[in-house]
Structure 1
Protein backbone atom coordinates (compact mmCIF):
# COMPACT_ATOMS: atom_id res chain seq x y z
CA UNK A 1 0.00 0.00 0.00
CA UNK A 2 1.49 3.31 -1.04
CA UNK A 3 1.15 6.31 1.19
CA UNK A 4 0.09 9.56 -0.35
CA UNK A 5 2.88 12.13 -0.22
CA UNK A 6 2.22 14.71 2.47
CA UNK A 7 1.28 18.11 1.17
CA UNK A 8 3.60 20.85 2.39
CA UNK A 9 2.27 23.03 5.18
CA UNK A 10 2.46 26.80 5.12
CA UNK A 11 1.88 29.33 7.88
CA UNK A 12 -0.98 31.78 7.43
CA UNK A 13 -1.50 35.08 9.23
CA UNK A 14 -5.06 35.32 10.53
CA UNK A 15 -6.91 38.05 12.38
CA UNK A 16 -9.71 36.51 14.45
CA UNK A 17 -12.48 38.54 16.04
CA UNK A 18 -13.99 36.88 19.12
CA UNK A 19 -17.12 37.72 21.06
CA UNK A 20 -17.87 37.20 24.72
CA UNK A 21 -18.57 33.91 26.47
CA UNK A 22 -18.72 33.06 30.17
CA UNK A 23 -15.23 32.34 31.55
CA UNK A 24 -13.49 33.38 28.30
CA UNK A 25 -10.66 35.12 30.17
CA UNK A 26 -11.19 38.49 28.49
CA UNK A 27 -10.96 41.61 30.66
CA UNK A 28 -14.06 42.77 32.52
CA UNK A 29 -16.05 45.20 30.39
CA UNK A 30 -14.57 43.99 27.09
CA UNK A 31 -17.09 43.31 24.32
CA UNK A 32 -14.72 40.93 22.55
CA UNK A 33 -11.19 40.93 21.17
CA UNK A 34 -9.04 40.74 18.08
CA UNK A 35 -6.41 38.01 18.01
CA UNK A 36 -3.46 37.95 15.61
CA UNK A 37 -2.69 34.30 14.94
CA UNK A 38 -0.18 32.32 12.93
CA UNK A 39 -1.56 28.94 11.90
CA UNK A 40 -0.08 26.04 10.00
CA UNK A 41 -2.06 24.29 7.26
CA UNK A 42 -1.87 22.84 3.77
CA UNK A 43 -4.05 25.77 2.69
CA UNK A 44 -5.63 28.83 4.28
CA UNK A 45 -9.01 27.11 4.73
CA UNK A 46 -7.40 24.38 6.85
CA UNK A 47 -5.48 26.98 8.88
CA UNK A 48 -8.75 28.84 9.55
CA UNK A 49 -10.57 25.63 10.61
CA UNK A 50 -7.74 24.64 12.94
CA UNK A 51 -7.58 28.13 14.46
CA UNK A 52 -11.34 28.29 15.10
CA UNK A 53 -11.24 24.82 16.68
CA UNK A 54 -8.34 25.72 18.98
CA UNK A 55 -9.94 29.00 20.06
CA UNK A 56 -13.26 27.28 20.81
CA UNK A 57 -11.42 24.66 22.87
CA UNK A 58 -9.81 27.55 24.77
CA UNK A 59 -13.27 28.87 25.70
CA UNK A 60 -13.38 31.73 23.20
CA UNK A 61 -16.19 32.56 20.77
CA UNK A 62 -14.73 33.17 17.27
CA UNK A 63 -17.00 35.40 15.16
CA UNK A 64 -14.96 36.32 12.10
CA UNK A 65 -11.59 35.41 10.55
CA UNK A 66 -9.65 37.55 8.09
CA UNK A 67 -6.79 35.83 6.28
CA UNK A 68 -3.68 37.74 5.25
CA UNK A 69 -1.92 34.84 3.51
CA UNK A 70 1.52 33.33 3.92
CA UNK A 71 4.68 35.27 4.76
CA UNK A 72 5.66 35.12 1.08
CA UNK A 73 2.26 36.48 0.01
CA UNK A 74 2.43 39.23 2.62
CA UNK A 75 5.94 40.28 1.57
CA UNK A 76 4.75 40.40 -2.06
CA UNK A 77 2.05 42.85 -0.88
CA UNK A 78 4.70 45.02 0.77
CA UNK A 79 4.19 43.90 4.39
CA UNK A 80 7.27 44.02 6.58
CA UNK A 81 7.79 40.94 8.74
CA UNK A 82 10.20 41.49 11.61
CA UNK A 83 12.41 38.82 13.20
CA UNK A 84 10.02 38.23 16.12
CA UNK A 85 7.05 37.68 13.81
CA UNK A 86 9.13 35.41 11.54
CA UNK A 87 10.21 33.37 14.59
CA UNK A 88 6.57 32.89 15.64
CA UNK A 89 5.69 31.79 12.11
CA UNK A 90 8.60 29.32 12.11
CA UNK A 91 7.39 27.95 15.46
CA UNK A 92 3.83 27.51 14.14
CA UNK A 93 5.21 25.54 11.20
CA UNK A 94 7.63 23.44 13.25
CA UNK A 95 4.95 22.54 15.82
CA UNK A 96 2.08 22.34 13.30
CA UNK A 97 0.31 24.67 15.68
CA UNK A 98 -1.79 27.78 16.08
CA UNK A 99 0.16 30.59 17.76
CA UNK A 100 -1.78 33.54 19.21
CA UNK A 101 0.74 36.35 18.84
CA UNK A 102 -1.35 39.28 20.06
CA UNK A 103 -4.71 39.92 21.69
CA UNK A 104 -6.42 43.31 21.68
CA UNK A 105 -9.61 43.53 23.80
CA UNK A 106 -12.48 45.63 22.42
CA UNK A 107 -14.45 47.99 24.66
CA UNK A 108 -17.64 49.91 23.87
CA UNK A 109 -17.83 53.52 24.92
CA UNK A 110 -14.13 54.33 24.55
CA UNK A 111 -14.97 57.23 22.29
CA UNK A 112 -16.88 60.35 23.29
CA UNK A 113 -20.42 60.52 21.92
Structure 2
Protein backbone atom coordinates (compact mmCIF):
# COMPACT_ATOMS: atom_id res chain seq x y z
CA UNK A 1 0.00 0.00 0.00
CA UNK A 2 1.20 3.49 -0.78
CA UNK A 3 1.98 5.97 1.95
CA UNK A 4 0.99 8.80 -0.34
CA UNK A 5 -2.19 10.51 0.70
CA UNK A 6 -4.63 11.59 -1.95
CA UNK A 7 -4.78 15.31 -2.26
CA UNK A 8 -8.26 16.66 -1.71
CA UNK A 9 -9.73 17.99 -4.90
CA UNK A 10 -9.76 21.73 -5.16
CA UNK A 11 -13.26 23.11 -5.40
CA UNK A 12 -14.01 23.88 -9.01
CA UNK A 13 -13.95 27.49 -10.06
CA UNK A 14 -15.80 26.63 -13.25
CA UNK A 15 -18.81 28.73 -14.09
CA UNK A 16 -21.20 28.66 -17.01
CA UNK A 17 -21.40 31.61 -19.36
CA UNK A 18 -24.13 32.41 -21.86
CA UNK A 19 -22.62 33.26 -25.24
CA UNK A 20 -24.15 34.35 -28.53
CA UNK A 21 -21.93 33.34 -31.44
CA UNK A 22 -22.47 34.74 -34.92
CA UNK A 23 -21.26 32.29 -37.55
CA UNK A 24 -20.53 32.55 -41.26
CA UNK A 25 -20.70 29.84 -43.89
CA UNK A 26 -18.26 26.97 -44.27
CA UNK A 27 -18.55 23.64 -46.10
CA UNK A 28 -20.05 21.05 -43.77
CA UNK A 29 -21.31 23.58 -41.21
CA UNK A 30 -24.78 22.02 -40.97
CA UNK A 31 -26.63 25.26 -41.71
CA UNK A 32 -29.48 25.30 -44.23
CA UNK A 33 -28.22 25.38 -47.83
CA UNK A 34 -29.63 28.83 -48.65
CA UNK A 35 -28.68 30.56 -45.37
CA UNK A 36 -26.01 33.25 -45.19
CA UNK A 37 -24.85 32.31 -41.69
CA UNK A 38 -26.46 32.10 -38.31
CA UNK A 39 -26.41 32.69 -34.59
CA UNK A 40 -25.80 30.08 -31.89
CA UNK A 41 -26.93 30.48 -28.28
CA UNK A 42 -24.35 28.61 -26.24
CA UNK A 43 -23.77 27.70 -22.60
CA UNK A 44 -20.06 27.17 -22.01
CA UNK A 45 -18.11 26.40 -18.87
CA UNK A 46 -14.88 28.11 -17.94
CA UNK A 47 -13.02 29.64 -15.03
CA UNK A 48 -13.75 33.00 -16.64
CA UNK A 49 -15.60 34.28 -19.67
CA UNK A 50 -12.42 34.53 -21.76
CA UNK A 51 -11.72 30.82 -21.28
CA UNK A 52 -15.33 29.93 -22.11
CA UNK A 53 -15.06 31.95 -25.33
CA UNK A 54 -11.72 30.36 -26.32
CA UNK A 55 -13.04 26.84 -25.72
CA UNK A 56 -16.25 27.58 -27.63
CA UNK A 57 -14.44 29.01 -30.65
CA UNK A 58 -12.01 26.06 -30.72
CA UNK A 59 -14.82 23.50 -30.58
CA UNK A 60 -16.87 25.27 -33.25
CA UNK A 61 -13.85 25.38 -35.58
CA UNK A 62 -13.30 21.64 -35.04
CA UNK A 63 -16.95 21.12 -36.02
CA UNK A 64 -16.44 22.97 -39.34
CA UNK A 65 -18.35 26.03 -38.14
CA UNK A 66 -16.97 29.52 -38.88
CA UNK A 67 -17.35 31.73 -35.77
CA UNK A 68 -17.28 35.44 -36.65
CA UNK A 69 -18.22 37.22 -33.43
CA UNK A 70 -18.93 36.24 -29.81
CA UNK A 71 -21.04 38.28 -27.38
CA UNK A 72 -21.02 37.34 -23.71
CA UNK A 73 -24.11 37.65 -21.53
CA UNK A 74 -22.53 36.53 -18.25
CA UNK A 75 -23.22 33.80 -15.72
CA UNK A 76 -26.61 32.68 -14.43
CA UNK A 77 -26.27 34.96 -11.38
CA UNK A 78 -25.24 37.93 -13.54
CA UNK A 79 -28.17 37.38 -15.89
CA UNK A 80 -30.61 37.08 -12.99
CA UNK A 81 -29.23 40.31 -11.49
CA UNK A 82 -29.95 42.02 -14.83
CA UNK A 83 -33.55 40.82 -14.70
CA UNK A 84 -33.35 38.08 -17.35
CA UNK A 85 -36.14 35.50 -17.22
CA UNK A 86 -34.39 32.12 -17.35
CA UNK A 87 -36.50 29.02 -17.87
CA UNK A 88 -35.98 25.69 -16.11
CA UNK A 89 -34.90 24.20 -19.47
CA UNK A 90 -32.16 26.84 -19.80
CA UNK A 91 -31.06 26.25 -16.21
CA UNK A 92 -30.88 22.50 -16.87
CA UNK A 93 -28.67 23.07 -19.94
CA UNK A 94 -26.44 25.41 -17.93
CA UNK A 95 -26.11 22.79 -15.20
CA UNK A 96 -25.26 20.16 -17.80
CA UNK A 97 -22.51 22.40 -19.23
CA UNK A 98 -21.11 22.80 -15.71
CA UNK A 99 -21.39 19.11 -14.81
CA UNK A 100 -19.77 17.99 -18.06
CA UNK A 101 -17.32 20.93 -18.32
CA UNK A 102 -18.64 21.35 -21.83
CA UNK A 103 -20.01 23.65 -24.50
CA UNK A 104 -23.75 23.23 -25.15
CA UNK A 105 -25.41 24.68 -28.25
CA UNK A 106 -28.88 25.53 -26.94
CA UNK A 107 -30.29 27.18 -30.05
CA UNK A 108 -29.31 27.73 -33.67
CA UNK A 109 -30.93 30.43 -35.77
CA UNK A 110 -29.97 30.56 -39.45
CA UNK A 111 -29.79 33.89 -41.27
CA UNK A 112 -31.21 34.37 -44.76
CA UNK A 113 -30.61 37.11 -47.31
CA UNK A 114 -33.83 39.00 -47.95
CA UNK A 115 -33.91 40.49 -51.42
CA UNK A 116 -37.14 42.35 -50.75
CA UNK A 117 -35.61 44.55 -48.04
CA UNK A 118 -35.92 48.29 -48.73
* Alignment TM-score, normalising by the size of structure 1: 0.92
Select which of 81, 90, 111 maps to 1:106: 111
RMSD: 1.7
Select which of 90, 109, 113 maps to 2:95: 90
Q: CA deviation at 1:57?
A: 0.7
User: CA, structure 1 residues 29+84, in 2 after alignment: closer, same or farther (shift >3 Å)?
Assistant: same
Moved over 2 A (4+): 2-7, 110-113
Q: Deviations over 1:33-67 (max 9, x none)?
A: 10000000000000000000111111100000000
Give 1:25's aligned residue: 30
Distance in 1 (CA, whole Å) between partners of 2:117 and 2:9 is: 59
Number of aligned residue pairs: 112
Gaps of 5+ in 1: none
Distance in 2 (CA, whole Å) between partners of 1:110 and 1:70 is: 38
Distance in 2 (CA, whole Å) between partners of 1:45 and 1:6 is: 20
Give 2:50's aligned residue: 45
Q: Deviations over 1:14-46 (max 9, x none)?
A: 000000011211101101010000000000000
Distance in 1 (CA, whole Å) between partners of 2:82 and 2:115 is: 32
